[in-house]
Amino acid sequence: MSLADYLECNIDFEGQRLAELISQVILTISAIVGFLYGYVQQSLEATIMIFGIGFAITLLVTLPPWPFYNRNPVKWASVQHEKVEDRATSE
């Protein structure tokens, strides 16, 4: 892979759907759990902390291109080389 490809951390379409789902689930759950725990403990700091941890976990799970995001690679059509003489005569 070239450096640009490596930095882009691409994942395939199925992986993208999975990543989006995972991030939304983790963030929503940490928001709800944080809210409930903070309410019971009467501590807003606890809510923010729990949400912060959830955010960090989300980044860790969705940002790097883990292998389970690349299980359905896109099947690109094979490159077809046109014959150079045909192109020259048709112009």
Partner 1 sequence: MHNLQQRLSATFSFAVSALFTVLGVVAAISWVTGYGTAATKVNVRDIRVIQSRYGPDYFDYGRKTSEFGMLKFDIDADLTPLFNWNTKQVFVTVVAEYETKTHNKNQVVVWDKIIRDKDSAKINLRKVSNKYALIDFSQKWRNQVANLSVHWDVTPHVGILQNGRGDTSSVKFTFPKFESSGGR
Query: Under the rule (CB under 8 A), what is the footprint of partner 1?
Result: 7-11, 16-17, 19-20, 23-24, 27-28, 31, 34-35, 38-39, 41-44, 47, 51, 55, 58-59, 62-63, 65
* Least CB distance to partner 1 at residue 77 (A): 19
What's the rounded Cα separation, in Å, for the pair 6 and 40? 45
Show the DSSP H helices in 1-91 as ranges. Answer: 3-8, 13-41, 44-62, 84-90
* Least CB distance to partner 1 at residue 36 (A): 10
- C-alpha radius of gyration, the chain, whole number: 23
* Least CB distance to partner 1 at residue 80 (A): 25
